[in-house]
Amino acid sequence: MAEILPANKALEPALALLRAGEVVAIPTETVYGLAGDATSGEAVARIYEAKGRPRFNPLIAHVSDMAMAKRIGRFDPLSRRLAQAFWPGPLTLVMPMQPDAGIHPLATAGLDTIALRMPRGFGAKLIAALGRPLAAPSANTSGRISGTTAQAVAADLGQRIRLVVDDGATPVGLESTIVKVEDGRVRLLRPGGIAADEIEAVVGQRPERGAKGIEAPGMMMSHYAPKAGMRLGVERVLPGEALLAFGPQRVANEQNAVAVLNLSPAGDLREAAANLFSFMHELDRSGAAAIAVEPVPMTGLGEAINDRLARAAAPRDVVNGD
């Protein structure tokens, strides 16, 4: 069962866990977050595992100051204005990611954009002390409502995490508003703790619902799709194919593959999740006609891994609902 510690006693224990690649439930002004080091694939895999997410949705990277934010995201003038007006606070800004941002690809689900937010209170102190951004989805099992008290979080996730930091009921009580600036227009991807009116008052335009080319919550599969075709659940490699292997049991004709990467030679799904997006990119860059993928079991994180593989294998220009 997770330990519940008051915020004024939790900084050092939380830091120790985060430095070890573990996850910690922390209070923010919106809802409690299930936080892990956004630069660590292992930590991010643990987040998805603890949430029981059937798929990898991109996560918000939480920062403690503007300097950290600018190392991660490329701010346009409107996004900068919004950050100045509402940070720290319940606004998340989606923007292009800096090439050397250091965010693990599992945290962005392979996207080249990043959702950034500067929270208030304990979270900000923790991030500043860690010196690294924290990836944090709402602290609830996938499909359940977001936790707004430490007790609710412990009741939901307590068996799967070690520490819940208690700072009382979250003042806002619902998730952050997510916006993305595109071609000088502010698009509303998710309504939340900052009202559209408040945004309009700052930028002089009313946020429009939805985004050009759909990117509300992890929907458009072509973002994740490699250029090479994908063939799943293979037992043999065909000429010209690269092989994305999993586990110790290998396909018989592996030597025919133009390139081979193994998601986890030991068959560890957490390791496989952490490697998934970077290995797909790497095999894509090998110039192979197609990527043949060995079967990955449907247990634990395997469900999310298989979801992403299936989306990557889907015909291009198909929108997959989320």
Binding residues for ATP, by number, are: 53, 57, 113, 138, 146, 190, 224
33 near ligand TXA, judged by CB under 6 A: yes
Which residues sit in the known binding site for L-threonine? 30, 62, 117, 136, 176
Number of chain residues interacting with ligand TXA (CB under 6 A): 25
CA geometry: angle at 74 spanning 200 and 188, to 5°? 30
Q: Which amino acid makes up residue 43? A: A
- Minimum distance from CB of 186 to ligand TXA (Å)? 14
138 near Mg ion, judged by CB under 5 A: yes
| DSSP string over 207-239 | PEES-TT--GGG-BGGGT--SSEEEES-SSPPT
CA geometry: angle at 157 spanning 161 and 215, to 5°? 100
Stretch of 136-144, 185-193, 218-226, 310-318 contacting Mg ion, by CB under 5 A: 136-144
210 near ligand TXA, judged by CB under 6 A: no
Stretch of 214-222, 289-297, 298-306, 307-315 contacting ligand TXA, by CB under 6 A: 214-222
Give the sign of the dihedral formed by CA 252, CA 255, CA 258, CA 262. Answer: positive
Residue 41's binding partner out of Mg ion, ligand TXA, none, with CB under 5 to 8 Å set by partner kind? none
59 near ligand TXA, judged by CB under 6 A: yes
d(CA 97, CA 101) in angstroms, rounded, equals 7
Structure tokens at 90: 């319940």
| DSSP string over 137-156 | -BSS-TTSPPP-SHHHHHHH
Among 137, 207, 226, 247, binds ligand TXA (CB under 6 A): 137
> How many CA atoms lie less than 13 Å away from 250 in the CB half-sphere?
16
Stretch of 16-24, 58-66, 243-251, 286-294 contacting ligand TXA, by CB under 6 A: 58-66
Q: Can you tell me whether residue 262 is helix, strand or coil?
A: strand
Q: Can you tell me whether residue 41 is helix, strand or coil?
A: helix
d(CA 224, CA 205) in angstroms, rounded, equals 31
Q: Can you tell me whether residue 171 is helix, strand or coil?
A: coil
Question: By C-beta, is 73 or 226 nearer to ligand TXA?
Answer: 73
> How many CA atoms lie less than 13 Å away from 296 in the CB half-sphere?
29
Among 27, 36, 41, 58, binds ligand TXA (CB under 6 A): 58
Among 10, 18, 28, 188, binds ligand TXA (CB under 6 A): 28
User: 65, 152 in Cβ contact below 8 A?
Assistant: no
Residue 178's binding partner out of Mg ion, ligand TXA, none, with CB under 5 to 8 Å set by partner kind? ligand TXA
Among 44, 68, 178, 273, binds ligand TXA (CB under 6 A): 178
148 near ligand TXA, judged by CB under 6 A: no
- Minimum distance from CB of 82 to ligand TXA (Å)? 15
110 near ligand TXA, judged by CB under 6 A: no
d(CA 194, CA 178) in angstroms, rounded, equals 9
**Contacts of Mg ion in 16-35 (CB under 5 A):** none
Residues near ligand TXA (CB under 6 A) are 28, 30-31, 33, 57-60, 92, 94, 111, 113-115, 117, 136-138, 175-176, 178, 189, 215, 217-218
